[in-house]
Amino acid sequence: MVIARVALNVPLDKLFDYEASDAQPDDIGCRAEVPFGRRHMVGVIVELASGTDLPSDKLRPIRRILRDTPPLPADWRALVLACSRYYQHPLGETLAVALPPALRRAEAVPKPNADPLFRITEAGTEARTRLRPGSLASRSLSFLVERGPVRASALKAALPKAAAALRHLSAKGLIETATPAASPAAAQAPVALPEQSAAVEAISGSLGRYQTFLLHGVTGSGKTEVYLVAIERALARASQALMLVPEIALTPQLENRVRTRFPGARIACLHSGMAEGARAGGFIAAANGELDIVLGTRLAVFTPLPRLGLIVVDEEQDPSFKQQDGIRYCARDVAVLRAQQAAVPIVLGSATPSLETFQHARSGRYRLLELPRRALAKSLPSVRCIDTRNAKLQEGLSEPLLAALESTLRRAEQSLIFLNRRGYAPVLACPACGWVSGCEHCSANMVLHLADRVLRCHHCGAQSGVPASCPTCGNQDIHPYGRGTQRVESALRERFPTARVLRVDRDSASTPGKSQALLESIHRGEVDVLVGTQILAKGHDFPRLTLVGVLNADASLHAVDFRAPERLFAQLMQVGGRSGRADLEGEVLIQTEHPDHPLYTALAGHDYHGFATAQLAERQQAGFPPFMFHAILRAEASQLARSLEFLQTAAALGGQLGQAAVTIYDPVPMRLTRRARVERAQLLVESPQRPRLQSFLRAWIAQIYAQRAPAGVRWSIDVDPHEF
DNA sequence: AGCACGCCGACT
DNA sequence: GTCGGCGTGCTC
């Protein structure tokens, strides 16, 4: 009897056996539709067996093996299995995360679209001179002449709206489809600096074996150029390249750059925002070895790539690589694991590497490649603190910052005010009785959004009207306290009535369309002063931005989270990097009550090494990562006591395992205890040795699964947590 | 996670 | 007398 062992997307850490008389060894890795209770589900055949321990009345036949898509390859399954084990998450659920949504269903998957390769014909070469110069048809032909065979998508990336021109040219026989070469050519772009070429040589010297590189370079030092040349070298060996980037918002411009650079290459861009069909199509094309480059966000780390030759992770320190629900994997770490399994080099790039990565580079486990200069001759911005301890502030803005804004305006250059707080004011309160605008579902305050005339909870989304008087004592004189982007925006409008002020935060850039419109308006030079949160810090070169003002940074200086300084440093470095051009000096002004704080001193000196070294010394002293390895068990229930009780039981269970070198702390309520009517608690487990922690977790989590949580309590495990 | 079964309160 | 609340248990 042939038994198929199937992993299903259910929160149970086991496989399910089905009778599968027609299953062949080739079907391992295939998706299969199976009966499961009263319903049908799609799972993945993980192994075949000749028997089962299951009583025969329980065993049911598999419904159908989904052979329309190729089986998921063994190396891919090994990667997903390793993730499932490392993050202590059931294999079936991990597979479901790694697969695009369309492949989690039984319906047939649409064929990936072709993206044909075009070349110019003799007729086209002749016709070129007759075409009106500057017309799309003419420019398309020129592109083909310059670049050789070109993918339709590359042409569309280089020349927007070229799709119709392509159809015409093809119909008239001026272009024709070409057969792809084994390795697509890249457009020539000489590397500018010797340290860039040194980096490229080091990386390409490692092609064909595992090595992690940390590419450390300030904003504008030409990291992307190093990635692209390294990718070119990998493609030249007929390999595939995988490039991970933090945000969806950043992918379109990078995608265009990559497509234009590799006009003959088959490139797919994978992220959660795209249509399901296209995502599944990219996944399958990659699995079939038909793609040369995959560019994507964290989920793209699970793209099957039979000829994988190089992995690049840009902005490796970025928090968005860590998934914050379900299986809480870190795509950067999974990428390193994948590079090891596939025996290929991986490049982690950053201006402010995570301390984990930097420590590996210091210890020699990763190879450090430095790009110390800005490539385009632009100097680093000057960074200065404005001491606000005795300063008179106007709506949170100091005199020196206002003066700098004024003179930047006069020079017709752009300014950016960075403030990590949305809304008008973080709280509305009554000075008479002490009432504050608390959220009824969360242990947090409702934020005043004057733009929409509502109080809104940033944790659960609850909304209510703005009371005219205190709801408890009737006092008419209630005030907003603190300030967010909206308040700073209106203060700036009032202070500089002729300046064009634009606010960019999650509220004003809520959809990709809106955010695109905002960016375009900035690029057209229609904005003098930008006010915004961290979405402004990432990517995007602003044409005439020379002044960056930072408000309220001190808040993270005193945060309880030991990673707060690391994040603040990276964020300020990133936002500061927005200012200055080749021809325009950039300036960063930080309003602070701690102008002598080492973090700001390091920032002013552009001294990442100094900052990171000091932080690492502190971490080592305090026994924090990367010198300690953490896992957090979290529980949620309608009452805190039930969450704590569950964790208490779990802690006792863990204690009985008596694992050496593992410390189990007492359960504590989470910092934001109540969220959306759910009360949460957590339990920290640590060990100075990762393997010890891993083996403890394996035994412990198995027991927690076996015990089954009491009704109404939900739990989850976070290995290598980023937030506490 | 679903989706059943199962045993106790307010409705046609 | 039924509809439906969510507690408990199972899914190959």
> Which tens digit of pLDDT belongs to each residue from A98-145?
999 999 999 988 777 788 999 999 999 998 888 888 888 889 898 888
| Alpha-helical runs (H) found in A104-222 | 122-128, 136-147, 152-158, 163-171, 194-205
Whole-number average pLDDT of chain A: 93
Quickly tell me which residue has 């925006």 as its tokens: A489
Which of the 13-52 residues on chain A come under 7 Å of nucleic strand C at their beta carbon?
14-18, 34-37, 52
Distance from residue A331's CA to nucleotide C8's C1', rounded to whole Å: 38
Whether the pLDDT of residue A427 is over 80: the answer is yes
Nearest nucleotide to A14 (CA to C1') is C12
Rounded average pLDDT over A180-194: 77
The b-or-e profile of A233-267 (16+ CB within 10 A means b, else e) is: bbbbeebbbbbbbbebbbbeebbbebbbbbbbbbb
Across A472-485, b (16+ Cβ under 10 Å) vs e yields: eeeeeebebebbbb
Lookup result for tokens 């936002």: A575
Angle between helices A194-205 and A223-236 (to 10 degrees): 40
pLDDT for A423 beyond 90: yes
Greatest Cα pair distance in chain A: 86
Q: Which nucleotide is nearest to A709 (CA to C1')?
A: C8
Q: What is the mean pLDDT of residues A672-679?
A: 92
| pLDDT tens figures, A589-615 | 999 999 999 999 999 999 999 999 999
Rounded to an integer, what is the distance from CA A518 to the centroid of its chain? 21
Does residue A714 reach within 7 angstroms of strand B, measured from its CB? yes
More confident residue, A50 or A516: A50
Q: Please state, in angstroms and rounded to a whole number, the distance separating the CA atoms of residues A147 and A144.
A: 5
Chain C nucleotides covered by protein, CB below 7 Å = 6-8, 10-12
Confidence of residue A251 (pLDDT cuts 50, 70, 90): low
Terminal C-alpha separation, chain A: 50
Q: Is the CB of A12 under 7 A from strand B?
A: yes
CA of A57, C1' of B9: distance in angstroms: 39
In this prediction, residues A281-286 reach a mean pLDDT of 95
Q: What is the pLDDT of residue A720?
A: 98
Label residue A146 by pLDDT band (50, 70, 90).
confident
Which of A237-246, A367-376, A659-668, A711-720 comes out lowest in average pLDDT?
A: A367-376
Asked if A302 contacts A79 with a C-beta cutoff of 8 angstroms, the reply is yes
Query: Percentage of chain A surpassing pLDDT 90?
Result: 76
pLDDT at A420 over 60: yes
Q: Which helix (H) or strand (E) holds A427?
A: strand A427-429
Give CA A502 to chain center in angstroms: 25
Q: Are A310 and A207 in contact (CB under 8 A)?
A: yes
Measure, in angstroms, how far nucleotide C9 C1' is from residue A547 CA: 63
Looking at per-residue pLDDT, the higher value among A28 and A160 belongs to: A28
pLDDT surpassing 60 at residue A377: no
- DSSP letters along A56-71, please? TTT-EE--EEETTSPP
Give the pLDDT confidence of A458-515 residue by residue, as tens digits.
999 999 999 999 999 999 999 999 999 999 999 999 999 999 999 999 999 888 788 8
pLDDT at A41: 96
- pLDDT computed for residue A191 by the predictor: 67
What values do phi and psi take at A423, rounded to 5?
A: 90, -175
What pLDDT is attached to residue A679? Answer: 92
Instruction: Give whichever of A204-218, A268-282, A525-539 has the largest mean pLDDT.
Output: A204-218
Q: What is the pLDDT of residues A27-40, one digit of tens each?
A: 999 999 999 999 99
Among A11-15, A344-348, A377-381, A647-651, the range of highest mean pLDDT:
A344-348
Which residues of chain A (696-715) touch nucleic strand C at CB < 7 A?
Answer: 710-712
d(CA A654, CA A501) in angstroms, rounded, equals: 56
- pLDDT score, position A297: 95
Asked whether A429 and A435 are in contact (CB, 8 A), the reply is yes
Q: Return the minimum-mean-pLDDT range out of A81-95, A177-191, A704-718.
A: A177-191
A226: number of Cβ within 10 Å: 29
Q: What is d(CA A415, CA A406) in angstroms, rounded to the nearest whole number?
A: 10
- In this prediction, residues A622-641 reach a mean pLDDT of 95
Checking if the pLDDT of A559 tops 90, the result is no
Do A130 and A245 touch, CB atoms closer than 8 A?
no
Interatomic CA–C1' length for residue A386 and nucleotide B7, angstroms: 69
Write A660-668 long-range contacts (CB < 8 A, 24+). Answer: A660/A692, A661/A687, A661/A688, A661/A689, A661/A692, A662/A686, A662/A687, A662/A692, A662/A693, A662/A696, A663/A687, A667/A635, A667/A643
Chain A residues 45-104, Cβ below 7 A from strand C = 52, 54, 58-60
CA-to-C1' span, A651 to B7 (A) = 34
10 Å Cβ neighbour count for A337? Answer: 17
CB atoms within 10 A of CB A641: 11
Q: Tell whether the model's pLDDT for residue A7 goes beyond 70.
A: yes
pLDDT tier for residue A287 given thresholds of 50, 70 and 90: very high
What 3-state class would DSSP assign to A35?
Answer: strand
Residues 21-60, chain A: which have Cβ under 7 A from strand B?
37-39
The whole-model pTM stands at 0.96
Our measurement of CA A710 to C1' B12, in angstroms, reads 37
